[in-house]
A and B are shown apart, each in its own frame.
Chain A
Amino acid sequence: DIQMTQSPSTLSASVGDRVTITCRASQSISIWLAWYQQKPGKAPKLLIYKASSLESGVPSRFSGSGSGTEFTLTISSLQPDDFATYYCQQYNDYSWTFGQGTKVEIK
């Protein structure tokens, strides 16, 4: 299986900060990478698919980039509703795997 490694595991930030989360794949996955936001007790919510496509209804402060093995999720100006855990997820050859998560905390 392809392994996904996120960094950092925890991130402390303030409202208005620019935040970047990195995800690395153990082998090339082209652009088959998605990003999710999860809040306690809730299912993950899709933010970005195919590395850089914004899901309908997701605020434009969220953006994704990358291809191959290295990807980033950027929140341009952190809002109070954005404090949550973020996961990357890859799709390749009929297999899906998730990163271990990045918790974004209030500084």
Chain B
Amino acid sequence: QVQLQQSGPGLVKPSQTLSLTCAISGDGISSSSTAWNWIRQSPSRGLEWLGRTYYRSKWYSDYAVSVRGRITISPDTSSSQFSLQLNSLTPEDTGVYYCARDHDGAFDFWGQGTMVTVSS
């Protein structure tokens, strides 16, 4: 059974960088049929896909237009983890952040969620 365990801070100051990590168990991070995603949820924006990283002979990343230029998602193959970095934070970035695995276009396993508040 695939499990995703998130870690990272819940409070970040405006203009700073959010860093979250998602540890994978029960699946290989370099699997050729899956990808590793970050999704967030807030009352104002609903569920919003942020981006993903995946391995297809080499590593790739895709990012949502809404956060492109501020986001980096990267794998750590030695620890079977992947991470999210989102910089230049504003209060609009407040919400619950989830990591998730995608397979055939759907998100079949999710992390437990991290409530992130952007406030001074």
Contact = CB atoms under 8 A, between A and B. Distances in A.
Interface of A: 1, 32, 34, 36, 42-46, 49-50, 55, 87, 89, 91, 94-98, 100-101
A51 B112 CA distance: 25
A49 B64 contact: no
Interface string B65-77: 1000000000000
A101 B46 contact: yes
Contact of B49 (A46, A55, A95): A95
Interface of B: 37, 46-49, 62, 64-65, 98, 100, 102, 104-108, 110-113
Give the interface SS of chain A, mostly helix, strand, loop or mixed.
strand
B47 A43 contact: no
Given A1-B65, A46-B106, A94-B62, A89 B98 contact: no
A97 B112 contact: no
B49 A97 contact: yes
B107 A32 contact: no
A44 B65 CA distance: 23
Contacts of B37: 96
A49 B108 contact: yes
Contacts of B107: 34, 36, 44, 46, 89
Given A49-B105, A50-B105, A94-B62, A89 B47 contact: yes
